[in-house]
Structure 1
Amino acid sequence: MSLRYDALVLGAGQAGLATAYHLQRRGLQFQVLEAGHRPVGSWPLHYRSLKLFSPARHAALPGLPFPGDPERYPSRDEVVAYLNAYAAHFRFPVVTEAEATQILPDDGGFRVLTADGRTFLSRTVVAATGTFRRPFIPAVPGQELFGGTVLHSLAYQEPSPFTGQRVLVGAGNSAVQIAVELAQVARVTLAVRTPVLFAPQRILGRDIHDWITWLRVDQLTLGHIRRLPSPRNVFDPGLYRTAFRLGQLDQRAMFLQFTAQGVVWPDGQEEAVDTVVFATGYRADLDFLRGTGALDSQGEPVQRLGVSRTVPGLYFAGLSGQRALASATLRGAGQEAALVVEQIARGQP
């Protein structure tokens, strides 16, 4: 029979590792199960040129500063290296290549089954798989007729395959970064439902996230929001507005439908398009909870502030809008995890 832990953490990305840190500090017996082969979450899947929209000082998990210049904006690969080093530094008990496939009730706790046939028993479970593994692409009329390429931004890696193409990209911080990069090799339009407004990355010599942190804006409790809306404001170090001003790309209202060759714009104009990149966010990847009563009819967790409202002993970490604006970010992971682990510790026999 497998050891019964105080907590099983599902996922070793930023949310799972922050949870492990607080469980370790509390002296609780726990195990982290990670589907991949490294404790780095979904970061390696994102496009190669990705840079954080906040400085390194705001990218650290609890207990270990992000290395290097705290003013710089770390790259995707730097975040991957940091998360890997973080898990090693604290010697967290992480089991890799252990994808949780089913959770079953077991004598007042849980039995967690993995894809390779292993079983883990625990008093509580923290679902920390985050919201960046299950890309969401909206249904647009005529999409089945379109002869070009439709992909989610998660499938985008670098611009060279799109050289010479006509490309449309969705909106938001990542979409703008991708669109500006693609504009170096392709003819690009940012297709938006509401106009993107560019906000300065730095105010009075300080990054906007310094001000947000000092004013505690991103820690204001939101309660349970099923899904945060896409941001209209994009923080810009100056690069993005310059690209639009120089005519390297433009911004138009979202197209109405696909055609066989392209799209139809709101003014009725039809245009041939090669590729559409939807940067339309993600949905929670929680299939292992199906059948437990933890999810609603849309597959979303029934929770408040990281605590399941329908399954005692089940918790969540890293969900978008779980408690505050920063809940699903590196800078918010530590505080979210601390609150969840406090609830777990209170339930100790």
Structure 2
Amino acid sequence: MERVDVAVIGGGQAGPAAAHALRRQGLEPVVLEASDQPAGSWPRYYDSLTLFSPAGYSSLPGMPFSGDPDRYPHRDDVVAYLLRYADRLDADIRTGVRVRDVRAAADGTFTLALASGDESSARGVVAASGTFGRPHRPSLPGLEDFAGTVLHAAEYRAPEPFAGRRVVVVGAGNSAVQIAAELAAHAQVTLATRHPVRFAAQRTLGRDLHWWLTRTGADILPVGRYLRTPPTQLVIDDGRYRAAVAAGAPDRRPVFTGIDGAKVAWADGSSEEVDTILLATGYRPDLGYLTPLGALDDRGHPLHREGFSLTHPGLAYVGLEWQRSLSSNSLRGVGRDARRIARRLVAHLHRD
């Protein structure tokens, strides 16, 4: 059985950031990525996705985004950046390796069972597998009996296949509004939300929102541990999305009250046939491989404080939403959390 210092599970943005921090602490991490390239879920996001943070605020530690720092990188720009980052990172990154489960060994180490049937032993584990593998599908009235097509945003790529159809997009976050507005140029689209959409201006007084978040310190406030429920996501808008919703393309309505076959019932008493319901309802931590450890609660969420496991001192997390701050699961913020995790892990391993 192979023995390693620290196994980092996940090779998207969080995994390499963790590996960079661990290397700087003198450890030898091995990054295990299930897909065929160290870019995590980014290649599978919808085609038009563009970051709402400028390139200058979207870098991992040690390698700035190339080009104009004020530009807003496209999905493919992020993929290319992550591949360059992995190529330059002096760490053992292995692709096509899926971790099936992690168990605690009697000597305080961890045993990783891989989908290939092989096993590895690690003194420490960093769970950095993100959320894309676990789309959240909320319980909505009648959805399980809908006769049309139900998709999650994780399955959406482009608007053209929906041309001429009646589509309901469920959700009020950035992805929901962006996808709904994009679809509205090809289909009749309703954005169904539990609450009105809340917008935040992308630029104020000539400065991007992220300049203000950084300058005020709001981006790094350690409030994550105090949040029982993450706050409602604001839609970062340069004016286009608010205008699109105001113009009814897409129109915004409260979430439907029921479904009968392919007919959706609305709160105003009306009903209509719908072809597709697209759930842009977010994701949950993709950490099922930790179930044997007892490291997760009954919802599959990690038992942690600011990324440090509350059940196993050699286990840590990087890239969780609100792990420590607003920016914890972003390109701009994941490196800060990774540095804190690396310091704690090296202190724990040196005690053993």
| TM-score grouping bracket, smaller chain normalisation | over 0.9
Aligned to 1:258: 259
> One-letter code of the match for 1:61?
L
TM-score by length of structure 2 reads: 0.95
Aligned to 2:349: 348
- Give the C-alpha shift of residue 262 in structure 1: 2.4
Find out whether 1:331 has 2:332 as its counterpart.
yes
Aligned to 1:188: 189
Alignment deviations for residues 222-253 of structure 1 (CA, whole Å, 9 cap, x no partner): 2434652441x311112212323444321111
> One-letter code of the match for 1:266?
A
Distance 1:246 1:144 in 2: 31
Alignment deviations for residues 154-192 of structure 1 (CA, whole Å, 9 cap, x no partner): 100000110001111122111111011101100111111
Find out whether 1:126 has 2:131 as its counterpart.
no
- Structure 1: runs of 5 or more not aligned: none
Alignment deviations for residues 51-91 of structure 1 (CA, whole Å, 9 cap, x no partner): 01111111100000011111111111111111111010123
Distance 2:242 2:296 in 1: 41
Distance 2:209 2:159 in 1: 29
Distance 2:76 2:236 in 1: 21
Aligned to 2:141: 141
- Structure 2: runs of 5 or more not aligned: none
Alignment deviations for residues 15-52 of structure 1 (CA, whole Å, 9 cap, x no partner): 11100111111221211111111110111111000001
Distance 1:144 1:203 in 2: 43
Distance 1:194 1:12 in 2: 35
CA contact 2:29–2:91 (8 Å) conserved in 1? no
Find out whether 1:42 has 2:41 as its counterpart.
yes
The aligned runs of 1:168-187 (5 Å cut-off) are: 168-170=168-170, 171-187=172-188
**Identity level (%):** 49
Aligned to 2:98: 99
Change in Cα spacing, 1:226 to 1:283, as seen in structure 2 (3 Å) is farther
Match among 220, 230, 247 for residue 228 of structure 1: 230
Distance 1:163 1:302 in 2: 44
Moved over 6 A (4+): none
TM-score by length of structure 1 reads: 0.96
CA contact 1:262–1:274 (8 Å) conserved in 2? no
> One-letter code of the match for 2:252?
Q
CA contact 1:293–1:311 (8 Å) conserved in 2? no
Find out whether 1:15 has 2:14 as its counterpart.
yes
3-state SS of paired residue (2:214): helix
- Give the C-alpha shift of residue 197 in structure 1: 2.5
Distance 1:145 1:205 in 2: 49
